[in-house]
Chains A and B, each alone.
Chain A
Amino acid sequence: MRIKAIQLSWFRGAADPVSLETECKSMVVYGANGSGKSSFVDAVEYVLNSGRIGHLAHEYSGKHQEKGIINTHKPKDRTSELRLKYKDNSELRVEIRENGTSKSSGAETVAMGTWEYRCTILRQDEVAQFIYDSKGEKYSALLPLLGLHQMEFAAENLRQLAKVVESVSKLKEMKTSLQQVENSRRTIFGTDSDEEIVSRLEELRQKYCTGQATTEDSLCLCNELEAAIGERIKHMSADQKKHFVLADLAGLKIKDNVVEVRTASSNLSGAVEPLITEKLSVLLSANKFVDALVDETEVKCPACGQLIPVDSFRTHIQAERESLEQIIKAFQDRKAAIGTLCDTLKSLKSNFDKSEVRTWRDEHSKNGLTDSFAHLDGLDVVVLRESCTEEDLKSLEERLLPLIDAAAATSKGKAPDVQDHLDAKQKVGVAKAMIEAKDQAAAVKRAEELISFITCLERGIRDELRRRSQAIMDEISTDIQEMWSILHPGEPISDVRLYLPDDTDKAIDISLKFHGAEQNSPRLTLSEGNRNSLGLCIFLAMAKRQVDTDRPLILDDVIVSLDRNHRGMIVELLQKVFSERQVVILTHEREWYTELRHQLGDNNNWFFKTLMPYDTPDVGIRWSHKTTTFDDARAQVNERPDSAGNDARKIMDIELALIAEHLQIRLPYLRGEKNDQRLAREFMERLIADGKKCFKKSAGDGNYAAHTDAIAAFTEADRLLLAWANRASHTFDLVQPEATKLIDACEKALEYFKCSSCSKAVWFADASSSETLQCKCGELCWRYAKG
């Protein structure tokens, strides 16, 4: 849907309502820097991006960008508002409240939310930045334009889901636990099969349980055996019980646990620990913050205060967390190792507190283990769990290992019954763990199968994403190459194309041939101007893909870094590729604007408007009534008349060069760049000389007479250019009335080239007689061969 008008009230630079009326046609808007032309672009972006303007996304613009969006000098009784009128005469009205929130009404048929920003608005800085972006950023920027962002969401969510399934199912922990059971089985039962182990249990049942077997179920049998063995132990003598506890103590693996803590600790350098702790806490808070986001579309970055989309914030946090995953794992491993050590120490303490070993403990306390028992009694396991240093580990080794050794030495001489009960208890314990582990093994298998399924799906979607992206990019690359060839005919840069790097997903880059040599990035060899030009071609190619050709394409100062030759080709490109589209070009380049006006001025699909230089916020954006840029000069007449005069001369330099080209004015050849840098007076002198013979006006009787009024105006302008414009340029002493007169004279001189009847220039068409140009109605003509 073409845009008919953009009306702003107290929005950005606008004060009282000011409207950019396009009449649904293409147009070129000229405005000096700061004149307010981008306010109209901002208005369209505001609507496209649901009340957000990209270049205002910073910490100073306020939560809803209200400090940037609302005119700083808006009176309290006025409302900040924008209205977009469309080709079907529907109108979208957006009223912006003081706090930056807005209320929209009308124009429901035009779903501007579905318009892609980057296929609608091309801004110089964003186009240029794209080439500098990383390949990941290019992927993020282009994917929505390729229409594949939903598949990317699916693939990325599946990738994350596989990880979350792994963590929620406690897969790693289950696998570690299964491995431990397997190790215990090998230690206790060697290579015995399951059937052989059941036979062992049966043997134990016959030894410990009285009567017939009450169950066929192995787990119930284990429980029965545990109870029976427990009962036997309960009735053991005090000495047997002592040995039993000491044997338990001797089996504690404090030494191994200490080694595990040391290994885990060596993976974490003490120097980075505080940093990681800080990062983790930040990430943890950020995660909670992200999880709490439900309806919000934007979020204020906790670090810089900038408003960014929630999705971008989530991606950012996710990337941060992934980069820390290895360190997080090392942290967790260390915590787990310390936890195991602390559990073992708790067992040690509780076993030594048992009444069965009290006498043994008292004896050994007197025989050299006093310090060890004192250390054990004073040990605070809770504190150790929070902070376990190398010194702690050394103390544990020095003080507690002798206790284990002493317990092991005593338990070696234990009574035969004790050994039998211990063996039986161990066998039953391991067999029971094996049976219980079967459920866990099934859970592991299910979790692994689910993860494999999700990963396979993700891979499939990624492959498809890659295939579709490449297909679309091949098409787009053809368009990019075509556009590049129009902008840079005959230049030794070819085969410009978008490609997906082989080594990574989620990346897009640009390749080209520079003098025949393959280059994987335009940043290697292209000049700044060429890089910008390439960025422009890429986004124009994207815009070309849009199915709805009736949407406008807005180009905001996109030619800043292009030289004259290349920017001249942009019109050719737009006419060739976007002739069906409504194109709105905004520029502060006077020369380019004038060129465009001369190139397209006679095309009914285009029209031209200029903005007055900006005055004050309460005056706001103002349109000039002229299509020329003399109002730029007029705006300076009071404050700086010399500058105004100089501006008038510069305008004439540009205008007359283009007019001389249209009228094929012959000038003596000058060496080098001087040929392209002629001044207004050189052209004006030739125009006066040739014009006396060539410039004719209809006499009304079918004949033509010399256009004496025009020649008089040219002569007057030439005289003033010589007298005052030169003075304005060199001695800066032009006064206000002189500047005004100079500007008026120049403007008047140029107006004579346009027919007052048909409004077309004298070079509008070739006349029927040879070597003659004429306006549309034939009122004016120029016989160019006569010059």
Chain B
Amino acid sequence: MSNDDHNWITARITQARNQSPLVTEAALTEVTQLLKGNLSKQTLSQKELGKVASLLIANMVPDVADAEAKQ
């Protein structure tokens, strides 16, 4: 993906986050990194998606996740 694509993804993530304000900073960071990486490189297996999903669910718990993100 080009830099333009990466910028577009960042903008799109911000836009989507505005509609889902409960999404934590930690989950947001995770999704951003994933979209600029593995998620855009190949079709992920169910196992890989399962790992990503567990991570995101864990990151959705506000206090802990955001404290970790700030660190």
- A residues contacting B by CB (< 8 A) are 150-151, 153-154, 156-158, 160-161, 164-165, 167-169, 287, 290-291, 293, 311, 314-315, 318, 445-447, 449-450, 452-454, 456-457, 460-461, 464
Question: In whole angstroms, how far apart are the Cα atoms of A157 and B43 in the complex?
Answer: 6
A291–B49 contact, CB under 8 A? Answer: no
Q: Which of B8, B43, B50 contacts A164 (CB 8 A)?
A: B50
User: In the complex, which residues of chain A have a beta carbon less than 8 angstroms from the beta carbon of B35?
Assistant: 154, 457
Query: Which residue of chain A lies nearest to B17 when distances are taken between CB atoms in the complex?
Result: A453
B43–A315 contact, CB under 8 A? Answer: yes
User: In the complex, which residues of chain B have a beta carbon less than 8 angstroms from the beta carbon of A318?
Assistant: 43
User: In the complex, which residues of chain A have a beta carbon less than 8 angstroms from the beta carbon of B39?
Assistant: 153-154, 157-158, 161
A314–B43 contact, CB under 8 A? Answer: yes
User: In the complex, which residues of chain A have a beta carbon less than 8 angstroms from the beta carbon of B64?
Assistant: none
B16–A457 contact, CB under 8 A? Answer: yes
A453–B20 contact, CB under 8 A? Answer: yes
B interface, size bucket? 35 or more
Question: In whole angstroms, how far apart are the Cα atoms of A161 and B35 in the complex?
Answer: 12
Question: In whole angstroms, how far apart are the Cα atoms of A314 and B48 in the complex?
Answer: 12
Query: Which residue of chain B lies nearest to A156 when distances are taken between CB atoms in the complex?
Result: B43
Residues 1-56 of B contacting A (Cβ, < 8 Å): 1, 5, 8-9, 12-13, 15-17, 19-20, 22-23, 27, 31, 35, 39-50, 52-54, 56
* Cβ of A592 to closest chain B Cβ, rounded Å: 42
User: In the complex, which residues of chain A have a beta carbon less than 8 angstroms from the beta carbon of B61?
Assistant: 446
Query: Which residue of chain A lies nearest to B52 when distances are taken between CB atoms in the complex?
Result: A161
Query: Which residue of chain A lies nearest to B60 when distances are taken between CB atoms in the complex?
Result: A446
User: In the complex, which residues of chain B have a beta carbon less than 8 angstroms from the beta carbon of A158?
Assistant: 39
20 contacts between A and B (CB under 8 A): A151-B1, A154-B40, A157-B39, A157-B40, A157-B43, A157-B49, A160-B44, A164-B52, A167-B53, A168-B50, A168-B57, A446-B60, A449-B22, A450-B23, A452-B19, A453-B17, A453-B27, A457-B13, A457-B31, A457-B35
Closest 9 CB pairs of A and B: A291-B47, A453-B20, A449-B22, A456-B16, A446-B60, A164-B53, A154-B40, A168-B53, A164-B49
Pick the most buried of B1, B41, B49: most chain A CB atoms within 10 A of its CB. B49
Pick the most buried of A156, A168, A169: most chain B CB atoms within 10 A of its CB. A168
A450–B57 contact, CB under 8 A? Answer: yes
Question: In whole angstroms, how far apart are the Cα atoms of A151 and B1 in the complex?
Answer: 8
A453–B49 contact, CB under 8 A? Answer: no
* Cβ of B48 to closest chain A Cβ, rounded Å: 8
Known: A165-B56, A464-B8. A290 touches B16 (CB 8 A): no
Query: Which residue of chain A lies nearest to B49 when distances are taken between CB atoms in the complex?
Result: A164
B12–A457 contact, CB under 8 A? Answer: yes
* Cβ of B52 to closest chain A Cβ, rounded Å: 6
User: In the complex, which residues of chain B have a beta carbon less than 8 angstroms from the beta carbon of A461?
Assistant: 12
How many A-B residue pairs lie within 8 Å, measured between CB atoms? 101
A290–B45 contact, CB under 8 A? Answer: yes
A311–B12 contact, CB under 8 A? Answer: no
* Cβ of A283 to closest chain B Cβ, rounded Å: 11
User: In the complex, which residues of chain B have a beta carbon less than 8 angstroms from the beta carbon of A315?
Assistant: 43
User: In the complex, which residues of chain B have a beta carbon less than 8 angstroms from the beta carbon of A164?
Assistant: 46, 49-50, 52-53
User: In the complex, which residues of chain B have a beta carbon less than 8 angstroms from the beta carbon of A452?
Assistant: 19-20
Known: A165-B57, A450-B23, A450-B60. A153 touches B12 (CB 8 A): no
Question: In whole angstroms, how far apart are the Cα atoms of A478 and B14 in the complex?
Answer: 36
Question: In whole angstroms, how far apart are the Cα atoms of A164 and B39 in the complex?
Answer: 14
Question: In whole angstroms, how far apart are the Cα atoms of A151 and B15 in the complex?
Answer: 17
Question: In whole angstroms, how far apart are the Cα atoms of A311 and B43 in the complex?
Answer: 6
Known: A153-B40, A157-B39, A460-B16. A449 touches B23 (CB 8 A): yes
Query: Which residue of chain B lies nearest to A148 when distances are taken between CB atoms in the complex?
Result: B5
Q: A150-B40, A456-B16 are in contact. List 10 more A-B contacts (CB 8 A).
A: A154-B40, A157-B43, A167-B53, A169-B57, A290-B46, A449-B22, A450-B60, A453-B19, A453-B23, A460-B15
B46–A287 contact, CB under 8 A? Answer: yes
B45–A293 contact, CB under 8 A? Answer: yes
User: In the complex, which residues of chain A have a beta carbon less than 8 angstroms from the beta carbon of B40?
Assistant: 150-151, 153-154, 157
Query: Which residue of chain B lies nearest to A459 when distances are taken between CB atoms in the complex?
Result: B16
A153–B41 contact, CB under 8 A? Answer: yes
Question: In whole angstroms, how far apart are the Cα atoms of A17 and B64 in the complex?
Answer: 67
Question: In whole angstroms, how far apart are the Cα atoms of A158 and B53 in the complex?
Answer: 10
User: In the complex, which residues of chain A have a beta carbon less than 8 angstroms from the beta carbon of B47?
Assistant: 291
Question: In whole angstroms, how far apart are the Cα atoms of A453 and B56 in the complex?
Answer: 11
User: In the complex, which residues of chain B have a beta carbon less than 8 angstroms from the beta carbon of A450?
Assistant: 20, 23, 27, 56-57, 60
A460–B46 contact, CB under 8 A? Answer: no
* Cβ of B62 to closest chain A Cβ, rounded Å: 8
* Cβ of B27 to closest chain A Cβ, rounded Å: 7
User: In the complex, which residues of chain B have a beta carbon less than 8 angstroms from the beta carbon of A168?
Assistant: 50, 53-54, 57
Question: In whole angstroms, how far apart are the Cα atoms of A311 and B42 in the complex?
Answer: 7
* Cβ of B18 to closest chain A Cβ, rounded Å: 9
Known: A165-B53, A314-B43, A314-B45. A449 touches B60 (CB 8 A): yes
Question: In whole angstroms, how far apart are the Cα atoms of A71 and B40 in the complex?
Answer: 39
Known: A161-B49, A168-B54. A464 touches B42 (CB 8 A): no
User: In the complex, which residues of chain B have a beta carbon less than 8 angstroms from the beta carbon of A453?
Assistant: 16-17, 19-20, 23, 27, 31
* Cβ of A320 to closest chain B Cβ, rounded Å: 13
Known: A452-B20, A457-B12, A457-B16. A150 touches B41 (CB 8 A): yes
B20–A456 contact, CB under 8 A? Answer: yes
Question: In whole angstroms, how far apart are the Cα atoms of A153 and B41 in the complex?
Answer: 7
Q: Which of A153, A157, A161, A446 contacts B22 (CB 8 A)?
A: A446
* Cβ of A274 to closest chain B Cβ, rounded Å: 25
Question: In whole angstroms, how far apart are the Cα atoms of A457 and B42 in the complex?
Answer: 17
User: In the complex, which residues of chain B have a beta carbon less than 8 angstroms from the beta carbon of A314?
Assistant: 43, 45
A291–B1 contact, CB under 8 A? Answer: no
Pick the most buried of B9, B43, B47, B60: most chain A CB atoms within 10 A of its CB. B43
* Cβ of A312 to closest chain B Cβ, rounded Å: 9
* Cβ of B7 to closest chain A Cβ, rounded Å: 12
User: In the complex, which residues of chain B have a beta carbon less than 8 angstroms from the beta carbon of A456?
Assistant: 16, 19-20
